[in-house]
Structure formats: structure tokens, C-alpha cells
Structure 1
Amino acid sequence: MEITYAALLRGINVGGGKKVPMAELRDLLTGLGHTGATTYLQSGNAVFTAASGTGEDALAAELETAIEERFGFRVDCLVRSGPYLRSVRDACPFPAGRLEGRQLHVTFFSGPVAADRFAALDADAFRPEEFRLGDRALYLYAPEGLGRSKLAVALSRPALNRGLVATSRNWNTVRKLAELTGG
């Protein structure tokens, strides 16, 4: 049996550094034995099918190694299954249907995130911006967009993310990846 996954590459193709052409990423995934490799946008989103039982962490580690060997630099990767992405989409605590894609973001984490990690953050000081935690995900409502979000800056502090790989996607991308992975 096979499962369709999305690979979320962190920090590529922005600001002139860590260039990973999407055609080469598709070829790399195919070379690793995965099927149906496709990419979405230029910012490090790939969808592929792999044998079930491999596991998200093992697939991410395999992809990180292959990228470093091919391009000469390390890129943190998260791999999430189609069912997981659909659960993130379906569990959104904000009225996603009434918001623009730029107003809602999901930060995916490499592991579980406990609420106490954010206890020192005065969430009321950032209103009307808000965040909510999900399963290995953080939902951020930023009505003026991520580029103007003071809460996004506060949430990205290294102390809050210590020991985890984190990468964010806007709501349009989350929805599209859920769709491309079978839902």
C-alpha cells in the first residue's frame, strides 16, 4: 500500500540563498523511489507517494540527506501525510471560509508543542491577532497578513521553537496541499 505525502522544505528559494529548482526537487524525489512527485509554488512544497510504513520522520531525513548531497547545503524538511494535512485543515479553530488566505497561517512543527511553551507570551498584547495550538501545528490569525504581524515575529523567537523544526504556510497552501495529497 502507498500513502501520499507532502514535503515542506524550510527556507528555500527566498532572498537569493538555498536555491532548489522545483524540477530538480521532483527528480530527486523520483530518484529516491517515490512516485507521482509534483511541486506546488517555488517555496518548497512537494507532493509524492511512498510505501506505507516508512514514516514521516524517516522520509524527511532521507530527503534532507539527498538535498544536501545534491545541492551542497542542508535544508530542514518536514513530511506530512495526506490524512494529517486534512486533519489540520479540518481542525482549524478560525473561520477559514470567511478569511483571506493571507490572514491565516499554519506553522508545522517537527514534534508536539505544549501550551506551556508559550505561557510567557502575552497574547492579549497582540490582539486582534491570535494563535491556537493544534497537533504539531500552530494556527495564526493575522488580519493584516504575515508581513505586518507582530505576533508572528514573537512566535518565531528561537526560545519558543527550541529543539523543533518549524515551517509556516499560508492557508491557501495548506488547503492546496491537503487537496493534492488526496483530499
Structure 2
Amino acid sequence: MTTLYAVLLAAVNVGKRKVPMAELRELLSGLGYDDVRTYLASGNAVFATAEEDQDALAANISAALEDHFGFAVPCVVRSGKYLSAVIEACPFPAADLAGKQLHAVFYSVPVDAQRYADIDREAFLPEDFRFGDRVMYLYAPDGLGRSPLAAALAKPAGRLKGICATSRNWNTVKALAEMAS
């Protein structure tokens, strides 16, 4: 059975880590994936395959990207069904918020609140974060770029050692879920 997946590349198209979307489409097609489409220029693509192991897909794509571009490109692969479930499970009033106010941080493995126990959540209100299935929902009313909470969550750098984490704003999450449905 063929499934539609989204691949979310981490930390690309900033600085010298350029991954042109046309090349990403060609690379994914060259790996044998079908119906390859990209969304925006920030490392998002949707593809179809009969392969069911999302971790194996991510590892395969990451290795191919490193081979092609010459630098490591961690990525997360999630099915359209999973993305729809993330939207449904959102603990924040997504319908009442602008897309830049709500973000989903996708993890390669399950991550829980204990990993962030040192964060004084009260100190960052009204900003807040909650966890779901391999995802953190981050409410940042002034946007991610101005979010003190987002900066605190990113430190220390070793907090997520060995884990791929990549963030998308809510508009992108919804668009990818739609593309992969």
C-alpha cells in the first residue's frame, strides 16, 4: 500500500547549508519515491512510497542528502495521517491564532517534559509549550523570532543530543498535512 509522507529537513537554507527545492525533488525521485512535491523553500517535501518504516525513510533521505550536498541534513519523516493527528491534538486554540504564533517542533523520537524540566514556564507567560506524540506545540504570540521561550528551549545545545528536532509554523503544518492527505 502506498502512503504519502512529509519529509522535514532540519536547518537548511540558512547560511551555507543550501538545499534547492528542485534538487530536493530530483533527489527524492531518484530514490524511487513517487508524487514528489515541495512546499516553500525551507526544506519541506511530500512523497509517496510503499515503505512503512519512517525512521528508515528519514535515514535513507538524510544519507542521500549528505552524499549529494556534502553536509549532514538531519530530517524527520511523518505520514499525512500523523500530521493530521498532530493538528487534531493541538492543545492550543489554533483556529484563533495566526500561523506565526503557533509552531510544532517535530522530534525523531518521543520527547517528554522532563527533558525541559529546568525551564521556568511561569517566567515566559503568555508563551507556553506542551507535548504530544513526538511533537512539541509552542505558542509564541509575538512569533518565533522574538520568542524568549523558544530561545530558552534551544539551550543548552546538548539538550537534544542525538535527536533530530525541526520546527514548522502552523500554516506550514496545515499545508503539509493537506498535501500528504
TM-score range, shorter chain: over 0.9
Cα drift, residue 35 of structure 1: 0.2
Aligned 8 A contact 2:7 2:46 in 1: yes
Q: Hey, what's the Cα distance between the residues in 2 that align with 1:170 and 1:32? A: 28
Corresponding position of 1:92: 90
Aligned 8 A contact 2:51 2:57 in 1: no
Corresponding position of 1:170: 169
TM-score w.r.t. structure 1 length?
Answer: 0.96
1:136 maps to 2:134: yes
Identify which of 136, 148, 166 aligns with 2:146: 148
SS in 2 for 1:73: coil
Cα drift, residue 162 of structure 1: 2.8
Q: Hey, what's the Cα distance between the residues in 2 that align with 1:22 and 1:144? A: 29
TM-score w.r.t. structure 2 length?
Answer: 0.97
Corresponding position of 1:18: 17
SS in 2 for 1:163: coil
Greater Cα shift, 144-153 or 155-164: 155-164
Q: Hey, what's the Cα distance between the residues in 1 that align with 2:158 and 2:26? A: 36
Greater Cα shift, 94-103 or 158-167: 158-167
Query: Counterpart amino acid of 1:5?
Result: Y
SS in 2 for 1:46: strand
Identify which of 114, 117, 122 aligns with 2:115: 117
Corresponding position of 1:7: 7
Greater Cα shift, 36-45 or 161-170: 161-170
Structure 1: tracts of 5 or more residues without a match: none
SS in 1 for 2:168: strand
RMSD: 0.9
Greater Cα shift, 108-117 or 32-41: 108-117
Identity fraction in percent? 58
1:41 maps to 2:67: no
Q: Hey, what's the Cα distance between the residues in 2 that align with 1:107 and 1:49? A: 23
Q: Hey, what's the Cα distance between the residues in 2 that align with 1:108 and 1:119? A: 19
Query: Counterpart amino acid of 2:17?
Result: K
Deviating runs (4+, > 4 A) in structure 1?
Answer: none
Greater Cα shift, 159-168 or 169-178: 159-168
Query: Counterpart amino acid of 2:69?
Result: F
Query: Counterpart amino acid of 1:125?
Result: A
Query: Counterpart amino acid of 1:21?
Result: P
Corresponding position of 2:160: 161
Q: Hey, what's the Cα distance between the residues in 1 that align with 2:18 and 2:4? A: 25
1:17-41: CA deviation from partner (whole Å, max 9, x where unpaired): 1111101100111110100000000
Identify which of 86, 105, 108 aligns with 1:107: 105
Query: Counterpart amino acid of 1:173?
Result: T
1:16-69: CA deviation from partner (whole Å, max 9, x where unpaired): x1111101100111110100000000000000001143x110000110111111
